[in-house]
Amino acid sequence: MNLEILNSSQHSALTRRLDRDPSVDGIQGPAGTGKTQVASYESCIAAYDSGERVLITALQNAAVDQILEKIIDIARKAGKPNERILRDIKRTGNLSDVNPLLTGHCCISPNELSSAVIVGTTLYSAFVPTGRRVLQQGSFDRIIIDESGQITPEQGWQVLRLIRNSDSATITAYGDDIQLTPISHDFVPERSILRRMRARNRQLMLLDTTYRLNSPGVKMTSEIFYRGRLQAPQEVMDRKLSLKKNPSGLLHEAIDPANTLVYTQVPGKETESGWSFDNHNQARVVSDLCHEFIRLGADPSKISVIAAYSPHIKTINILLEGTRVQCKTVHKMLGSENDIVIFATTRSNPTRDLGFVTQPEILNVATSRQLRKLIVVGDDAETFSEGSPTSRKMFDFIASKASMLSFDGY
Amino acid sequence: MRSGPLPRRILTEITITNTLTRQEGRVDSIFEYNYPIVETVDWKTYGEPKLSRTDSYQAIGYGMLVNYRYGRPEDDFTNNTLVVITPNGIHHPRPTLNAIRKIREKREYILNVLRGQRVRARFAYPAVCPTCPYRIGCNDYRNNLQRTRRNRMTWARTFRVLDKRQDTHMNKFLATHLPLSFLREFGIAELGYRVNQIREGDRPIIILGRDSQVCRMDSGNTVRIISLEPNIPLLACISCCGKIREITDEYATIEVDRGDPSQLLGFDIVLLKNEVDLTKRDLEAIDFVRRQPGRIQDMAFALIGENNEFRDS
């Protein structure tokens, strides 16, 4: 298999895992650093070169599908015949929402699954009676857990019954514990597998080259969340948005492609909506920004809006009806990326309480989804900077190295 | 009830859980005389000339829990007198062999249901519907088909209720079967507290202090505050229930909902989460790992960031 496309940190992480050093290992991959790529190569090499049986698992179906697609792609490029790929790589569990590209690989027959060398399923399906019946206990040599920054150790234990009780068995946990954390049933943040390993001074291998964030976003993320260890290739750093027309009007500064990272202060007041919050002023600004981008020739499907609270999402969706702009909460945006990202912080009140938005994990996810441009729509700068130590650092960075705009009279 | 010497200690509103027999009850009061004599006291606000059979069985059931608390066989009532106080007077229900057998039968029946065994429901054959104004036997109940259908519906409902209750008992099961250090690692229990201050009020507030340790609970959690009494099973010790207002590595402030916090003074305190976040799946995984020797257990401990700290505990 062609490993030349891997960068040095991906290569060393892969080598370390293929050498099984140690039996359980964590690989931390910040946004856009190629976790899926490394996990796919690890599975392919272990399965086809070492003859191991590999289980791919994660909390969400989408994450499992993403790795399996990549594995199929790698196997095809390596010259494996189609019949063999169909026989060797299987997807099981809840098959109703599986990616259509994997339809031929879906399977619930225990016989077919026992002959497959790479099986993908969610943690839940690996446990429930259906999963237990179709997947043979103690039959896998290697388990790859993706998104382990969101998985508690107890959830990870559920697949242990499927791993062979031998010295060669191994588990690799891919993820990023500085992104979203697991949330318990009573909405208390819990510690993930990776966070626990880090707390016990276990070395986590960091994939340090991101292919997503351009400048200065990569520098901000690196300095605030990864102690300056994250970098990006020059061509990624220089990536800029291109619009068919030049921006004009009140929003021109925010939209200007030269400003790749912008904070816009939008005065206004939050409104309570049940247990949650909404902010009409911010929603209006977000909607105007999107419409202006579309008017200037940006592809609406390349624009994503992130908001912290669901009612705010609903309001923005109403204002953006008819466009094809995606609008999601921070939690749903995990794992996605887009050219233009607009992040609305929602909260704005006299007590200067910004809620959970200022948590480092939330801020990290919300500000690391963009390929070309990020606009943060928030309360006044002073409130944002006082939210938490992380928001303070972010404010300082944007004020000194990016654009800070005020929409006072908007 | 004894008219002689005063009790050495009076405990009130003690929740006792026996996870082995799946029996739990909140005993109104336990009067401790000179060892090993105790009295199990139950107060009733209503009074009838004769104690009803239900009340009598309830008192015997509490008596069995009290026997468990003091490490005696549950049917040994030699030093445990049962007392029921009503507005009409004092009653002493007799813990006859027949009554104890019936309580055990009912208990076992529920346990079998929870274990998923196919047990037959034995419902009384009603002659008339309790709401029937005519109070005469009617064809509805004489029809066997109708009776079977009704039994099945009642049975299904009973099963659902029991199944739901089983989930809420998980942490008690864990507390009985796992070492305290393990419970702490899972964030189910916190150890090493002592009562520093009690503020009286409608809902008393107790402030617990301890030497600095990393705390794994959060404010808002509902907890059972258990005093570690020597030689008493953990879930039969004096306890109160409350909600954590604030918790740090050094102290915890708890608003008490049930129980008398003054009884906790002078003991080491354990905080046990009342509602655990572990689901049945998590619980089964824990059980699987605990039963595995060697490699898989090593991996499990590596996932929680430990090497083998708990294996010997």
User: Do the Cβ atoms of A169 and B295 come within 8 Å?
Assistant: yes
- A202 in contact with chain B, both atoms CB, cutoff 8 A: yes
How many Å apart are CA A345 and CA A322, to the nearest integer?
A: 24
For chain B, say whether A188 makes contact (Cβ under 8 Å).
yes
Taking residues A373-382, report their average pLDDT: 88
Of the pLDDT bands very low, low, confident and very high (cuts 50, 70, 90), residue A298 is very high
> Can you give the pTM of this predicted structure?
0.64
Q: Which CATH number fits domain A217-406: 1.20.1250.20, 3.30.70.1230, 3.20.20.10, 3.40.50.300?
A: 3.40.50.300
Is pLDDT above 90 for A379?
no
CA–CA separation, A81 and A376 (whole Å): 48
pLDDT tens digits, A231-241: 999 999 999 99
Tokens at residue A15, please?
């080598």
pLDDT of B162 > 70? The answer is no
Q: Is the domain of B160 the same as that of B214?
A: no
Asked if residue B181 and residue B268 are part of one domain, the reply reads yes
Q: Render A276-319 in DSSP notation, one character per residue.
A: EEE-HHHHHHHHHHHHHHHHTT--GGGEEEEESSHHHHHHHHHH
User: Containing domain of residue B19, as a range?
Assistant: 9-99
CB < 8 Å to A184, chain B: 277
What per-residue confidence (pLDDT) applies to A224?
Answer: 93
The rounded percent of chain B whose pLDDT value lies above 70 is: 73
**A16 forms bridges with which residues in the sheet?**
none
- Give the range among A9-18, A102-111, B123-132 with minimum mean pLDDT: B123-132
3-state secondary structure of A114: helix
- Average pLDDT for B179-203: 81
Q: Are residues B164 and B209 in the same domain?
A: no
Q: Tell me the pLDDT tens digit for each residue of B217-253.
A: 777 778 889 998 888 888 899 999 888 888 877 888 8
Look at residue B268 and tell me whether its pLDDT is greater than 60.
yes
Tokens of B234: 């953990």
Contacts of A356 in chain B (CB under 8 A): none
- Is the Cβ–Cβ distance between B29 and B11 less than 8 Å? yes
Instruction: CATH number for A8-206: choose from 3.40.190.10, 3.20.20.30, 3.40.50.300, 3.30.565.10.
Output: 3.40.50.300
Mind telling me how many Å the CA of B108 is from chain A's nearest CA?
27
* Per-residue model confidence (pLDDT) at position B5: 81
Domain contains B109: no
With beta carbons under 8 A apart, name residues in chain B contacting A163. Answer: 296, 299
Max mean pLDDT range (A15-24, A302-311, B281-290): A302-311
Question: Of B44, B64, B99, at which residue does a domain stop?
Answer: B99
Look at residue A409 and tell me whether its pLDDT is greater than 70.
Answer: no
Within a domain: residue B108?
A: no
Query: Is A157 close to B186, i.e. CB distance below 8 A?
Result: no
Phi-psi region of B31 (alpha: psi -120 to 50; beta: other; left: phi over 0): beta
Give the burial string for B110-134 (b: 16+ CB within 10 Å, else e): bbebeeeeeeeeeeeeeeeeeeeee
Mean pLDDT value across residues B115-138: 62
Are B285 and A161 within 8 A, CB to CB?
yes
- The shortest CB-CB distance from B306 to any of A163, A166, A200 is to A200
Name the pLDDT band for B118 (thresholds 50, 70, 90).
low
Question: Does B293 reside within a domain?
Answer: no
Q: Report if residue B278 sits inside a domain.
A: no
Q: Is the pLDDT of residue B121 over 60?
A: no
pLDDT of residue A366: 93
Q: Is residue B306 part of a domain?
A: no
Q: Residue B263 has which token pair?
A: 């009884």
- Nearest residue to A301 via CA among A320, A281, A316, A288: A320
* A298 or B137, which is more confident: A298
- Using pLDDT thresholds of 50, 70 and 90, give the confidence band for residue B311: very low
- Is B53 inside any structural domain? yes
Take residue B203 and report the two structure tokens written for it.
């809902």
Q: Per the structure, how many domains does chain B have?
A: 3
- Tell me, yes or no, whether B17 and B91 share the same domain: yes
**Which residues in chain B have their CB less than 8 angstroms from residue A127's CB?**
281, 284-285
Are the beta carbons of B296 and A160 separated by less than 8 Å? yes
The per-residue pLDDT for range A61-104, each reduced to its tens digit, is: 889 999 999 999 999 998 888 888 999 999 998 888 888 889 89
pLDDT at B307: 58
Average pLDDT value over all residues in chain B: 79
CA distance A110 to B165: 35
Is the domain of B186 the same as that of B252? yes
Chain B partners of A156 at a C-beta cutoff of 8 Å? 303
